[in-house]
Structures are given as structure tokens and as C-alpha cells.
Amino acid sequence: MNILHQFAAETTAPDADLFGALGIDWRLLIIQLIAFLILVFLLGKFVYPWLMKQVDERQANIEAAAKAATEAKKAADDSKEEVAQLLDTARKQAADIVDTAKLESVEIIASSERKAKQSAERIVEDAHEQIDKDIQAAKKDLYNETLELVSRATEKVAGSAISAKADDERIAKAVKENA
């Protein structure tokens, strides 16, 4: 510093006419200029980039926040629409299910009625059939019994009614017929 002051003091006397008239010490000016340039350089190298970086980051965050806000809003709108749609579909399906269930119940009732009616008709038919069968069986037994009685009676009666002569004549006739 003393050197600078000394440099400055020494130099003032000879050049007093131009710069002196203006009140500017050109040596001090040069030093100040150099000091300023050094300052600018240092600021430019260390402070300015860091500062700019911070500013950029801040800017980016703000933009991101703004974007997210917009998207969130959009998503909310979409999901609202989707929910409305789902509710709609669910209502329709519920209606379908109820319809189907009603149809099935009607079908089941109709089918049970049909089956019950068929069952009743069949019981009556079976009963008629059984009676018919019983009558047929009785007729058959009567017929067979009568057949048996007829042949027994014939055996007994013919045994005493036929004479040897009549039998012989009958046989001769039969043999002749086969000739």
C-alpha cells in the first residue's frame, strides 16, 4: 500500500497539467482498473456460475411444480370420469343380473309345475295300467283253469264212452285219410 501511495505521490507532480486539471490521478486509475478487472474475473469464475445455477434450479422447480399441478388436475378429472363410467356399468350389470335371476326363478317355477303335473298324470296312468294288467291276469288264469278242467273231463268221459269197435273204426278212417 505504501508503495502504491508512494507511486501515486511521485507521479502527481510532473503531469499536473491535463489529469491535474481534471483531478484524475492516472496511476491510481490504472490500479483501480486492474483491481476492478481482478474482481470481475473472480466474480465471473466463482460467484456468477454458482449464482446462475441456483437461479436455474429455482426456475426448474417452479416449472416442475406448475407442471405437476396441471397433471394432478387432469388425473383428477379423468378418474372422476372413470368412476362415473364404472358406476354406470355396475348399474347396468346389476340390472342384468336381476333380470337373469328373475328369468331363472320363473323358469324353475314353471319347470317344477310341469314336473308335478307330469308326475300326477303318470300316477293315474300307472294305476289304470295296473288295473288292466290285473284283469288280464285274471282272464288268463280263468282260461287256463277251464282248459285243464275240459281236458280232464274229456279224459274221464271219453274213457268210458268209447267202445273198442268205435275206436277201431275211427283209427281205420284216420289211417285211410293219410293214405
What residue ranges bind other proteins (CB under 8 A)?
A: 93, 96-97, 100-101, 103-104, 107, 122, 128, 131-133, 135-140, 142-144, 146-148, 150-151, 154-155, 158-159, 162-164, 167-168, 170-172, 174-179
CB of 79 to other proteins, least distance (A): 22
Return the number of the residue (58 or 117) whose C-beta is nearest other proteins.
117
- Shortest Å, Cβ 146 to other proteins: 6
Q: In this structure, what is the dihedral angle of CA atoms 161, 166, 172, 174, given to the nearest 10 degrees? A: -40
From the CB of 127, what's the least distance to other proteins, in Å? 11
CB 8, CB 28: distance < 8 Å: yes
Yes or no: say if 25 and 11 are a contact pair by the CB < 8 Å rule: yes
Q: What is the smallest separation between the CB atom of 80 and other proteins, expressed in angstroms?
A: 23
Q: What angle do CA 55, 59, 65 make, to 5 degrees?
A: 145
Cβ proximity to other proteins: between 43 and 135 the closer is 135
CB atoms under 10 Å from CB of 19, counted, come to 16
Per DSSP, the three-state class of 65 is helix
